[in-house]
């Protein structure tokens, strides 16, 4: 299946995405990539999921009060993405910067479908989003994710899928929810040409694999 929902951007900059579930190491790799690009004298900016100054606070408040049904959840996150795209991402691409995305629309495609939203509906919701130049997907099994998250931030109510009633047990709910998320990512990997990387590899090994692919992209003349 080909991607019929978005089209390649025509801006002079680059749009680079790192996808994966919480605990997969996305933020670490984004920061290492940004540091390397700075050393190589390339201007780069980072945009993270749910960081719109206009919308993110409303999402947090709704989460605290447990007011998000599946469609509301989807619409609020799409609003956050839209605000960042208009105010930060597109202007940076127009300026010729390399934009590093910590999650992109694929996060919504996975999460929202697992929460019961129809795939076509959520994809149409984001049909204005430009196709990235390259997408890296950090793939990790559920057991490894659980160990990482418990050792760092702890199990989150929403990241454990407790809001959709998968199980009253946090650990069991996390396993079910994350397994379903990983299944959705697996379906998308071929469709959207993800470069899948084993998230169990060392931080530097993953960074080197990402760096080499980005080098190839830059050397191909992708930056206009």
Residues 6+ apart with CB under 8 A from 134: 14, 16, 17, 195, 213, 214, 217
Asked if residue 128 belongs to a domain, the reply is: yes
With contact defined as beta carbons under 8 Å apart, do 10 and 130 qualify?
Answer: no
What is the pLDDT at residue 9? 86
Segment 14-32, tens digit of pLDDT: 999 999 998 899 999 999 9
Question: Domain tally for the chain?
Answer: 1
Identify the pLDDT of residue 4: 42
Residue 161 lies in a domain: no
User: Is 163 inside a domain boundary?
Assistant: no
58 within domain boundaries: yes
User: Is 95 part of a structural domain of the chain?
Assistant: yes
- What is the model's pLDDT at position 3? 43
Give the tens place of pLDDT for each residue, 124-145: 999 999 999 999 999 999 989 8
Given CA atoms 114, 118, 119, 124 in this order, what sign does their dihedral have? negative
Does residue 119 sit within a domain?
A: yes
Helix (H, G, I), strand (E, B) or coil at 8: strand
Can you give the pLDDT at residue 121?
Answer: 96
The whole domain housing 47 covers: 14-139+197-219
pLDDT recorded at residue 6: 57
Q: Can you read off the two tokens belonging to residue 9?
A: 């951007």
Domain-embedded: residue 8: no
Residue 18: CATH number of its domain: 3.40.50.300
Question: CA torsion angle for 138, 142, 145, 151 (degrees, to 10)?
Answer: -170
222: tokens are 């992708």
**What parts of the chain have a pLDDT lower than 70?**
1-7
The residue count of the chain comes to 224
Residues 92, 199: Cα–Cα separation, whole Å:
29
| Residue 43 lies inside a defined structural domain of this protein | yes
Q: How many whole angstroms separate alpha carbon 110 and alpha carbon 161?
A: 13
């Amino acid at each position: 299946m080909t991607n019929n929902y978005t089209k390649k951007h025509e801006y002079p900059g680059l749009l680079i995405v790192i996808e994966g579930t919480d605990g997969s190491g996305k933020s670490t790799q984004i920061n290492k990539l940004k540091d390397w690009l700075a050393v190589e004298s390339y201007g780069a900016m980072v945009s993270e999921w749910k960081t719109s100054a206009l919308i993110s606070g409303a999402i947090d408040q709704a989460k605290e009060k447990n007011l998000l049904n599946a469609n509301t959840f989807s619409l609020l996150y799409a609003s956050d993405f839209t605000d960042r795209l208009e105010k930060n991402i597109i202007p940076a691409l127009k300026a010729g910067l390399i934009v590093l995305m910590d999650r992109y629309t694929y996060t919504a495609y996975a999460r929202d479908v697992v929460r019961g939203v129809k795939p076509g509906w959520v994809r149409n919701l984001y049909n204005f989003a430009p196709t990235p130049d390259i997408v890296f997907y950090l793939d990790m099994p559920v057991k490894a994710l659980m160990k990482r998250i418990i050792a760092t931030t702890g199990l989150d109510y929403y990241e454990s899928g407790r809001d959709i009633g998968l199980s009253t047990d946090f650990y069991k709910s996390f396993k079910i929810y994350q397994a379903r998320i990983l299944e959705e990512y697996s379906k998308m990997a071929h469709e959207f040409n993800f470069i899948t990387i084993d998230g169990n590899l060392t931080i530097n090994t993953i960074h080197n694999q990402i760096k080499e692919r980005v080098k190839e992209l830059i050397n191909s003349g992708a930056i206009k």
